[in-house]
Amino acid sequence: MLTRRDVMLGAAGAAVALPTMNSSLFAQAGYPSRDVHSICGFPPGTGADVFVRWYSKMLQDRIGRTVVVENRPGAFGNIATEFVARSKPDGYTVFIAPGSSFLAAAPSLFKKINFDPMNDFEHVTTLSKLPFVLIVSGDSPHKSVPELVEHLKKKGDKGSYASVANTGLVSSELFKASFGLQTVEVKYKDSSGMLNDLWGGNVDFVHWDPIGATPHFKTGKLRALATSSKDRFIALPDIPSAAEVGIANSDVIAWWSVHVPKGTPKEIVDRLEKEFNEIVKSDEHKNFISPTGSDPFPGNPQVLRDILARDLKNWPEWVKIAKIEPQG
């Protein structure tokens, strides 16, 4: 009976016997031969950590090797991102992350980052995407964007909107710009205070992620008027897109993606792309992300590079529109 040692020794002997063959093919043939580390930029137990762990478990089941989730939270994802950028490019460090924020937004939100979002990584593929949602209280008289816009124009700078995240802030400011509104931002540290003021009539609207909002849609305590995206989402079939309601300048989405350190052999990148795309196309994946308002987002390295390049170009303008002060 052949042991793993026999197989590895045989592969090594073949490599010696055929020195002209690309050695990376042997690396791929034996990959993975040990545990893979999946780097998570969030604390254990958070919603985003659940996402990373789910994808990591699915990858583990497909490659037949343990995928160890390693939490490196802090600095809004910069700690984890820099760690991956400086890791050995051997395929054993995988970054499953919200690339829209950790990579695309970071250069615009921070005065200094210690990694190059485009050039310090091999970009494997996209995984899923979700928009922010324009929301009013469930008892609001405004049942459409035109009705809300008419109301806000009458209020002028007496109208207000809530913001609890930079993406929501950007979405709200693009909405304002599209209709020439003077509505004023009110910042919140967490969603509980924001919801209480929205329900109490102290703010007129908010752009919020569907993960937190969907349970309140079902109870009728919140009403969705539009998404922040150009196209309608499969997971949110009853919510019109920004373009459908006249917010022509908005296509703001959050997207999850997979990255490895720059210099990881192409054959390993290709293997990871194949495995993750099989996960993304599965019914199990659709069932996992649909309740969060997310759609599957299959891709490849070029698709990921293209959307990263697009958002790296967009975020400086969004930061300017939203008057966000970069952090030190």
Which position has the token pair 């303008």?
317
**Tens of pLDDT along 62-117?**
999 999 999 999 999 999 999 999 999 999 999 999 999 999 999 999 999 999 99
**Alpha carbon separation from 293 to 60, 214, 245, 289, 309 (Å, rounded):** 25, 8, 19, 7, 24
**Tens of pLDDT along 202-261?**
999 999 999 899 999 999 999 999 999 999 999 999 999 999 999 988 999 999 999 999
Question: Where does the pLDDT of residue 29 fall: very low under 50, low under 70, confident under 90, or very high at 90 and above?
Answer: low
Write down the pLDDT at residue 119. Answer: 98
**Tens of pLDDT along 296-320?**
999 999 999 999 999 999 999 999 9
**Tens of pLDDT along 201-210?**
999 999 999 9
Instruction: Choose the CATH number for 32-129+254-322 among 3.40.190.150, 1.20.200.10, 3.30.460.80, 3.40.470.10.
Output: 3.40.190.150
**Residue 163: closest CA among 148, 180, 176:** 176
Write down the pLDDT at residue 12. Answer: 34
Question: Where does the pLDDT of residue 8 fall: very low under 50, low under 70, confident under 90, or very high at 90 and above?
Answer: very low
The helix/strand count (H/E) of the chain reads as 13, 11
Mean of the per-residue pLDDT values for the chain? 91
Distance from CA of residue 248 to its chain's centroid? Answer: 22
Query: Is 183 strand, coil or helix?
Result: coil
Q: What is the pTM of this model?
A: 0.86
Asked if domains 32-129+254-322 and 133-245 share a fold, the reply is yes
Q: Is the pLDDT of residue 11 over 90?
A: no
Q: Show me where the domains of the chain are located.
A: 1-30, 32-129+254-322, 133-245
Specify the CATH architecture of the domain 133-245. Answer: 3-Layer(aba) Sandwich (3.40)
The mean pLDDT value for 30-59 works out to 96
Question: Where does the pLDDT of residue 10 fall: very low under 50, low under 70, confident under 90, or very high at 90 and above?
Answer: very low
Task: State what percent of residues in the chain have pLDDT above 90.
Answer: 87
